[in-house]
Amino acid sequence: MLEKVEKPKTLKDTALEQLRLAIMIGQLAPGKRLVERTICEQLGVSRTVVRECIRHLESEHLVTFSVGGSSVAVLESSEIRQIYHLRAMLEGEAVRHCAEQVTPELVENLQNDLIQIRDNLHAGDVVKALAHSYSFYERLFFTAGMTVAWELTERLNGRIGRLRFMTLSTPERAIKGPDNLQEIVNNIAKGDSKAAVKACQKHIDEACRMGLHLNEQ
């Protein structure tokens, strides 16, 4: 299993995380114009840092630029379908590898991540649940040795996070999502790669349907 090397955070990193999170959880709504001066005041950083963050978020397709300035990107249905399709391919492969090389330590760690996801959703803290969801999937990819695939996934994580926040904020998905993840973990624990991939596909298909529905409202 490969271990991720943590890098110290810069002022820009912190500001970028805050801006990304604000978009993911809808504090900065789709279509909202980003006013640099306002963001500077709210985050306590310079305009240079804000501009760097906005350019970075443009590369993640969370922000769009037009003649009138930058604004929060609007997710289109075709984009949502493509994101979930990519998730199914990459996560399915990661799950398969994990089931084929399962260890008690991996199962324990995945189970601990899942407990945190459930507990935070039960407490109504979707933001913390998102953080533990990120850890859950990161663990799958790094255990599978799929570091390049994780790099690709991280480029989508802003948009994935927006969709995940929308779906997990509903009572139905807050229960069913963790139940589906439990099914994936159970099959990984048994070393049943086919069942684990099938459970992963079911989980993503359900999330896709709900994400599309919520995005159209």
Encoded tokens for 208: 């896709």
Tens of pLDDT, residue by residue over 165-174, are 999 999 999 9
- Give mean pLDDT, residues 78-105: 97
Tens of pLDDT, residue by residue over 92-106, are 999 999 999 999 999
Could you give the maximum distance between any two Cα atoms of the chain, in Å?
A: 55
pLDDT at 4 over 90: no
How high is the pLDDT of residue 6? Answer: 56
pLDDT at 163 over 70: yes
Per-residue confidence band for 7, with pLDDT thresholds at 50, 70 and 90: low
How high is the pLDDT of residue 2? Answer: 45
Highest mean pLDDT: which range of 26-30, 152-156, 195-199 = 195-199
Contact 166, 214 (CB under 8 A): yes
Mean pLDDT computed over every residue of the chain: 93
pLDDT at 17 over 80: yes
CA distance 186 to 183: 5
**DSSP track, 4-44:** PPP-PPPHHHHHHHHHHHHHHTTSS-TT-B--HHHHHHHHT
Pick the closest to residue 24 from 177, 117, 157 (CA basis).
Answer: 157
Contact 17, 60 (CB under 8 A): no
- Give mean pLDDT, residues 67-76: 90
Per-residue confidence band for 217, with pLDDT thresholds at 50, 70 and 90: confident
Per-residue confidence band for 5, with pLDDT thresholds at 50, 70 and 90: very low
